[in-house]
Structure 1
Amino acid sequence: MSVYTFEAEKINGEAVSLEQYKGKVLIIVNTASKCGFTPQYSDLQKIYEQYKDQGLEILGFPSNQFGEQEPGSNSDVQSFCQINYGVTFPLFAKTDVREDSAHPLFSYLTEQAPFQGFNVSEPSGKMLNAFLSEKLPQLLEGDSIKWNFTKFLVDREGRVVKRFESTQEPNDMKADIEKLL
């Protein structure tokens, strides 16, 4: 099994097989427009521009499951991303990424790359861990997605290589990306 097994709906409503990305290095990320981590769109776009000609694709999956931080329609999301961050990488329709309603792709990703905890020696990791522990402790259970902007790095054969939590900046992935390109 690989990520190519799955289908998803693009932000424009078109159903696509992820098999169309076969042979590419992928970053699959759940996103939101009204989150403290939303500025990561900027660095994700820069990484996309830097590596797309070498075979990198970034697949963005907006989700409204964390603090209702993606309340708009798919067209609102697309406009927001283009106007505010110049996003040109593929965006998909709003998608559930955890719990029973999770898209099967995200269930697969979290099985392949379990939650390893937040780096609480860094301020953002300490902050998110404390927030979830106090306000939403159920989100810390198991291996599911914990918050917006969890990033999964996938090799050219569709295998999940590494998981980067919300608190990890996109640029933290560069060395791992370069190894796979």
Structure 2
Amino acid sequence: MILHRRDMLGLLGASFVAPAFAAGPGGLRAGAFSFDRPEGDGALPLAAYAGRPILVVNTATACGFAGQLAGMQTLWTRFQERGLTVLGVPSPDFGNQEPLDGAAIAEAARREHGVTFPLTAKTHVKMPGAHPFYRWAAEEKPGETPRWNFHKYLVARDGTLAAAFGTQVEPTDPRVIAAVAAALDKPA
């Protein structure tokens, strides 16, 4: 595996800023996981975002809810300077509504919805073949697993799972905004 300079710096910084983000006495934390980059050039470790809340959303560019990408961008624009990271995780699991692969997904999200936040490579989020982050999230919040595209998980600054929101809850819903604001206001 090849690590890019920015990933190495992020990992190094994470080790000093918030070691509990990667693992704690209660077990795994979100920082223990990484996703593949859409360009296929290595991993995107969540530890690179240590000490920052992360909104992780499984996306699909051909889904009827794809308009939520613009809402995710609104959150990213509004809260990025305060420390929020928004991460889109394209998934083919629900009706194969992510027909694209690799960089084409990110390009479509940018072109059609103005997305500038990070996206991962296409990833399985539904059991039994779910990505390890999604298996961990299912253990942390049983019954609040993705049932369709645009399920949202909010990871707190300390790497714990702070909240989950279903597909029907828009990224700009007051409940999501309140949870994000609370996560930003809470120290790591």
**TM-score, shorter chain, exceeding 0.5:** yes
Counting matched residue pairs gives 154
Query: How many Å apart are 1:10 and its aligned residue?
Result: 1.5
Of 102, 123, 127 in structure 1, the residue corresponding to residue 130 of structure 2 is: 102
Check whether the contact 2:74–2:172 (CA below 8 A) recurs between aligned residues: no
Aligned counterparts of 1:98 and 1:15: Cα–Cα separation in 2: 20
Aligned to 2:171: 170
The CA RMSD over aligned residues, in Å, is 1.1
Aligned to 1:26: 54
Q: Which amino acid aligns with 1:38?
A: A
Between 12-21 and 162-171, report the one with greater CA deviation. Answer: 12-21
The yes-or-no answer on 1:92 pairing with 2:120 is yes
Of 66, 85, 88 in structure 2, the residue corresponding to residue 60 of structure 1 is: 88
The yes-or-no answer on 1:69 pairing with 2:97 is yes
When the two structures are superposed, what TM-score results if normalisation uses the length of structure 1?
0.82
Aligned counterparts of 1:27 and 1:33: Cα–Cα separation in 2: 18
Check whether the contact 1:152–1:160 (CA below 8 A) recurs between aligned residues: yes
Query: How many Å apart are 1:114 and its aligned residue?
Result: 2.5
Aligned counterparts of 1:80 and 1:7: Cα–Cα separation in 2: 23
Q: Which amino acid aligns with 1:161?
A: A
Aligned counterparts of 1:145 and 1:80: Cα–Cα separation in 2: 23
Aligned to 1:40: 68
Aligned counterparts of 2:87 and 2:137: Cα–Cα separation in 1: 13
Aligned to 1:17: 45
Mapping of residues 122-137 of structure 1, within 5 Å: none
Q: SS at 1:170's partner residue?
A: coil
Check whether the contact 1:99–1:144 (CA below 8 A) recurs between aligned residues: no
Check whether the contact 2:59–2:89 (CA below 8 A) recurs between aligned residues: yes
Aligned to 2:160: 159
Check whether the contact 1:113–1:161 (CA below 8 A) recurs between aligned residues: no
Query: How many Å apart are 1:19 and its aligned residue?
Result: 0.6
Query: How many Å apart are 1:62 and its aligned residue?
Result: 0.2
Aligned counterparts of 1:79 and 1:17: Cα–Cα separation in 2: 21
Segments ≥4 residues shifted beyond 2 Å: none
Q: Give me the identity figure in percent.
A: 36
Q: Deviations over 1:38-78 (max 9, x none)?
A: 10000110110000000000111000110110011122211
Aligned counterparts of 1:15 and 1:159: Cα–Cα separation in 2: 21
Aligned to 1:6: 33
When the two structures are superposed, what TM-score results if normalisation uses the length of structure 2?
0.79
Q: Which amino acid aligns with 2:39?
A: N
Unaligned runs of 5+ in 2: 1-27
Q: Deviations over 1:69-91 (max 9, x none)?
A: 00111222111101011111110
